[in-house]
Amino acid sequence: MIFIDNEQDKIEPSEEFKEKLSEMIDFALKEEEVKVPYEISLLFVDNEGIHEINKEQRGIDKVTDVLSFPMLDYPNGKVFKDAYKGYEFKAEDLDGDLLVLGDIVLSLERAKEQSIEFGHSYMREACYLVIHSVLHLLGYDHMENDEKILMRQREEYILDKFNINREL
């Protein structure tokens, strides 16, 4: 289950926009072998909102595009499909019958700015940022070069399946 909430009023996300993001999240989770009912929260904010959350939660006093707050712990270098295959989840990992994967906070304002800066569509930028964040919820990272390469490959694979490329 994907919970979407909008806490900004600068860009009105259409139902089609929200449905596309939900569809991509579902697809990404299936591709990453999440075979249990899950819960992800997706919160839309503006630059001021994400700045505040970034400062409060991470101690970083600046605007960013997207934040990921994973709820599961991953062994070093492992992602969901490696770390939790066949795993019996504990009660604290669940909300009822749903596995709580985490929260995503997306600045729609920053996504719009970056789409212009990078010369592609707003939809492409928002989809990329959400998929990037979903992969973080699943244990992917980009701190080391080999991790970055793997994460980028997964992002591009998922975006390609929806014909979302840099030209859109």
Structural domain spans, the chain:
2-162
**Is it the case that residue 83 has pLDDT exceeding 60?**
yes
The pLDDT assigned to 166 comes to 65
Read off the pTM. Answer: 0.92
According to DSSP, the residues that pair with 38 across neighbouring strands are 99
Q: What is the 3-state secondary structure (H, E, C) of 104-124?
A: EEEEHHHHHHHHHHHCCCHHH
Q: For the chain, what is the mean pLDDT?
A: 93
* Percent residues over pLDDT 70 in the chain: 98
Q: Is 51 annotated as a binding residue?
A: no
Q: Tell me the C-alpha distance between 3 and 76, whole Å.
A: 29
Of the candidate CATH numbers 3.40.390.30, 1.10.10.10, 3.40.1190.20, 3.40.50.2000, the domain formed by 2-162 belongs to: 3.40.390.30
